[in-house]
Amino acid sequence: MPNQEADAGTPIILKVDTTLIPATLNKTLTARRFREKLPFTIALQRYESDYCSSAPPLETDDTERQFGWKNGDIGYFGGWFTILFGGQESSKNTSGVLIIGRVDEGHLDAVRGLGRSITVTIDLA
């Protein structure tokens, strides 16, 4: 299963109150379908290694599913939208992961510093 990287993708901004976090959508089918929904606003809950919430269905391609994630990945899997800020080391056995993007280098600490419950608006940069 491929590891989907965000290089040469679509620049986006994650906006939480006044905090702006740059990120990049990759070129997967699910990421392209997600881009069609922008701007997209969703309320997320903080958990041990991510912010997540159930999300509307998106078209997916099973060949793009993978095991695990990297800290900073943005995912859509199992009907959930997620911003992953931790757990990379123990994620290798998690199957069915669809990575649609990635928080840009140097901005992961901003994600980790957000509150317990957040509302994020995602739009093109």
Q: From CA 57, how far away is CA 76, in angstroms rounded?
A: 9
**Where are the chain's structural domains?**
10-124
* Closest by CA position to 14, among listed 74, 59, 80: 74
Q: What is the rounded average pLDDT of the residues 70-85?
A: 95
pTM over cut 0.85:
yes
pLDDT, tens digit (0-9, with 9 covering 90-100), for 87-123: 999 999 999 999 999 999 999 999 999 999 999 999 9
CATH class of segment(s) 10-124:
mainly beta
